[in-house]
Structure 1
Amino acid sequence: MEPAELRSRRLFAQGLRGPVVGAERSGGVRSSRADATASPPPTTPEGVVARALAVQAQEYLPAQWGLAQRLPRSMRPDAAAVGGRIDEGAILRTHVLRPTWHFVVPADARWLLELSAPRVRQQMAGTIRKAGWDGEAGSRAVEVVAREVAGGHRTRGEIAEALVQAGLPKDGLLFVLLIAELELVAISGANVGAQRSYAAFDERVPAGPPRPREEALAELVERAVLTRGPATVRDLASWSGFTLRDVRAALVEASDRTGGRIERIDDPDETELWHDAAVAAAWSARDATDATADDDPARIDLLQGYDEYVMGHAMPRAYLQPPGIAAPIIPEFPLHAMLAGGTMIGRWAPVVQGRRATLRVVPWRAFARAERRSLDERLDEVAEFLGMPSEVEIEPVAPA
């Protein structure tokens, strides 16, 4: 598969281009190639999260922009509105999968955590033990967290104080909270000013029967392929934190449960490349006008550094590589990923201080005229999302 086609199809599947083909999924819905027709794209930030299953969210504000930019501009919420949906619990933020911070919706939080918690515990066991929170100490600490959040939403500072009052250290608090998340005791609550808080898991996540591991894994990879494909087995293992063996077995099950919609591509350049056959058909059937809009090489995207277009795939992420740069690209905070036509051409960051923002742009090369127009449009969109006066700083391109 040519790199340009791979990029275009991933942008299309990700909701960063054109209308998205394939149902906005809420979990557990069987589909088939025969009934995989176009469906309305998400219209809310929680709809974007539900469709993607889990959205990496280490950097709180940029991650919210990552949700908003996947919505039509006419109905795109600003940062305050997205934050409000998080406060209300329509979107939850918790450690799941590899683990790292992710946005998930309540309907997916329980089964995703039940599926990934044993794997995360295995991966984090040494770190948790070194921090002193294994065994009895960890159990006592989680009991304190459970007691605190049962009385309402609590900030990290309040939970730390409760640990001290219980005769436990507050050092390593994040490990305590991680364990509480994995044990389905606590999950994100409403913000208290600029402070994050934790709520009782059962308050914010609906009850549901446990899912067989094989079924849950199949849904995990199915929804990942539908929103990140084409993807290799290694991509899916890197994104999910599960083993290659787990992913291969789950893909076979996902293909069966979707009537072949999840399909392996015979590609001599990529081993074990899988895609959504319905999206592939729609992508191929676009008329010339649609194709030009979707594949415009001058289209600039300002993504958060942990965007699923980036982190949904394994290193070295050759599809991001622009001409003349050979080293693998790791577009992580504090500078995020600036793309042109799906390849990285620099970095950017929204720097918020008080009630003003500076949109910092660090290009790796000069902009073509059409690229500069597109960049100005994206910067206007970011400023609109932030909802505050914003100025733009574009660094000069360093001499070659």
Structure 2
Amino acid sequence: MPVPLTPRVLGRLRLANQGLLGGGFPTVPGAVRWMTAMQAQDLGAALWAVGQRVPGTAASDVRAALDAGTVVRSWPMRGTLHLLAPEDLRWILGITSGRLMNMVAGRHRELAITPDDIAHCRDIAFKTAEALKAEGRPGASREQLFQAFEEAGQLTKAQRGIHLLGSLCQRAWLVQGPTAVNKGKVGVQQLFVPFDEWIPESRDLSREEGIAELLVRYVRSRGPATIKDFSWWSQIPLKEARAALDAVRDGLVELQFGGSSYWLTPESAAMLDDGVPGSRSLLALPGFDEYLLGYQDRSLVLAPGYSELVVPGKNGVFKRIIVSGGEVIGTWARTVSGKTAGVAAKPFAGPLGPGTERSFQAQGRAYLKFMAA
């Protein structure tokens, strides 16, 4: 007998499709490739987002993937850093970067950034990277590139430098490579390297093919989801998103719920017949996790009345979330008392029950162990 549709059931389908129930994914690159793009402007949060989907790993394993180039971090959409498979970055940029460049064109005029300035900075960046490579150094830090820009007459103050650097990455001339090491410690910054050196092989898809593939992969990893969710996440205009849906809808399943059409794969829809797992699952997810962030409408898993507790003041900064059976029931934080680290739950509606608290603390211990290794 089919499972009745409820917000929690749809939320658990999303958990399953994102690899957050059961065995997850066997490797870090495999998880990132399945998710297509995982928001990662907060690198620490992104490490744990991957860790929650790849059991038995540590933060050092995700950093190692970045250092090896089997996972890359760049700005493929919405002007925000994401983790991606290296072979996917160029074709996704080919779809998304034009719109982003149009959005920042006014700011570039204010900063007196011209196409010639961007090309000039490309040449400077390549020369800087080549000089560092000759010294046996794997890439250039942002500070090194800014210094080189300044020495060549390209000002970097008032955000001009970061806009120039972002433009080079949007055009697939530079990409973030290995993590930087400062005084023997790994930091949160990455070094910049020439794109073609770090990613020698890229897939080549036309815009139409790319949008269709991006949609299928989005639905596969995040369904049930609406076409508006996809359009917001990818920043692909709704008209093109709907055209892509028309091209691939025969391979997808449509669910009607709450007056909206939700799309998912046949494999995912089959769980509605066999029983959707995770009714007693409890997860401590990072801030900015795709489980919540990856949708325009988050009300399916987060009651609107609690949304400001997750994103205070709608400032775009997402707190860590507790997800119980497909529903966001609270936020959580890392705590420090003397030399002892722990976690503390901040549930929305009263204290957690004893069993839920035990499950949350187990998640907290897993998080602390993951980040420490």
Decide whether aligned partners of structure 1 residues 77 and 126 sit closer, same or farther in structure 2, where only a CA change above 3 A counts: same
Look up the match of 2:246: 252
Question: Partner amino acid for 2:352?
Answer: F
C-alpha deviation, 1:248, in angstroms = 0.7
User: Secondary structure of the equivalent of 1:187?
Assistant: strand
Which of these residues, 362, 367, 370, is aligned with residue 382 of structure 1?
367
Task: Work out the CA distance in 1 between the residues paired with 2:63 and 2:306.
Answer: 38
Question: Partner amino acid for 2:233?
Answer: W
Decide whether aligned partners of structure 1 residues 133 and 382 sit closer, same or farther in structure 2, where only a CA change above 3 A counts: same
**Which digits, 9 at most, give the CA deviation of each residue in 1:222-276, with x for residues without a partner?**
0000000011111001110111111111112233xxxx332333x1524332111
Which of these residues, 278, 292, 308, is aligned with residue 290 of structure 2?
308
Look up the match of 1:234: 228
TM-score by length of 1: 0.81
Look up the match of 1:12: 16
Any residues of structure 2 matched to 1:125-274 within 5 Å, and which? 125-151=105-131, 152=133, 153-171=139-157, 172=159, 173-193=161-181, 194=187, 195-208=189-202, 210-255=204-249, 260-265=250-255, 267=256, 269-274=258-263
Task: Work out the CA distance in 1 between the residues paired with 2:302 and 2:51.
Answer: 25
C-alpha deviation, 1:208, in angstroms = 4.2
Larger mean Cα displacement after TM superposition, 175-184 or 148-157: 148-157
Q: Quick check: 2:48–2:286 contact (8 Å CA) kept in 1?
A: yes
RMSD: 2.5
C-alpha deviation, 1:378, in angstroms = 0.3
Task: Work out the CA distance in 2 between the residues paired with 1:358 and 1:373.
Answer: 13
Question: Partner amino acid for 1:135?
Answer: P
- 1:338 matched to 2:322? The reply is yes
C-alpha deviation, 1:87, in angstroms = 1.3
Which of these residues, 38, 43, 65, is aligned with residue 60 of structure 1?
43
Which of these residues, 55, 63, 83, is aligned with residue 83 of structure 1?
63
Larger mean Cα displacement after TM superposition, 107-116 or 139-148: 139-148
Q: Which runs of 5+ in 1 are unaligned?
A: 20-40, 389-400
Q: Quick check: 2:334–2:344 contact (8 Å CA) kept in 1?
A: yes
User: Secondary structure of the equivalent of 2:278?
Assistant: helix
- 1:362 matched to 2:346? The reply is yes
User: Secondary structure of the equivalent of 1:254?
Assistant: helix
Report which structure shows greater RCO (CA 8 Å, sep ≥6). Answer: 2
Decide whether aligned partners of structure 1 residues 43 and 327 sit closer, same or farther in structure 2, where only a CA change above 3 A counts: closer
**Which digits, 9 at most, give the CA deviation of each residue in 1:138-178, with x for residues without a partner?**
33223222332344410011001101110111222221111
Question: Partner amino acid for 1:212?
Answer: S
Larger mean Cα displacement after TM superposition, 43-52 or 330-339: 330-339
Decide whether aligned partners of structure 1 residues 356 and 367 sit closer, same or farther in structure 2, where only a CA change above 3 A counts: closer
Task: Work out the CA distance in 1 between the residues paired with 2:36 and 2:71.
Answer: 11
TM-score by length of 2: 0.86
Decide whether aligned partners of structure 1 residues 53 and 352 sit closer, same or farther in structure 2, where only a CA change above 3 A counts: farther
Look up the match of 2:266: 277
User: Secondary structure of the equivalent of 1:189?
Assistant: strand
**Which digits, 9 at most, give the CA deviation of each residue in 1:59-91, with x for residues without a partner?**
10111110011123xxx2111221111111111
Question: Partner amino acid for 1:13?
Answer: N
Q: Quick check: 2:284–2:320 contact (8 Å CA) kept in 1?
A: yes
Q: Quick check: 1:190–1:196 contact (8 Å CA) kept in 2?
A: yes
Task: Work out the CA distance in 2 between the residues paired with 1:13 and 1:250.
Answer: 21
Question: Partner amino acid for 1:121?
Answer: M
- 1:295 matched to 2:279? The reply is yes
Q: Quick check: 1:66–1:304 contact (8 Å CA) kept in 2?
A: yes
Any residues of structure 2 matched to 1:102-141 within 5 Å, and which? 102-141=82-121
C-alpha deviation, 1:204, in angstroms = 1.6
Paired residues in the alignment total 350
User: Secondary structure of the equivalent of 2:305?
Assistant: coil
Task: Work out the CA distance in 1 between the residues paired with 2:371 and 2:308.
Answer: 31
Question: Partner amino acid for 2:124?
Answer: V
C-alpha deviation, 1:42, in angstroms = 2.3
Q: Quick check: 1:231–1:275 contact (8 Å CA) kept in 2?
A: yes
User: Secondary structure of the equivalent of 1:87?
Assistant: helix
Seq. identity, %: 26
- 1:97 matched to 2:85? The reply is no
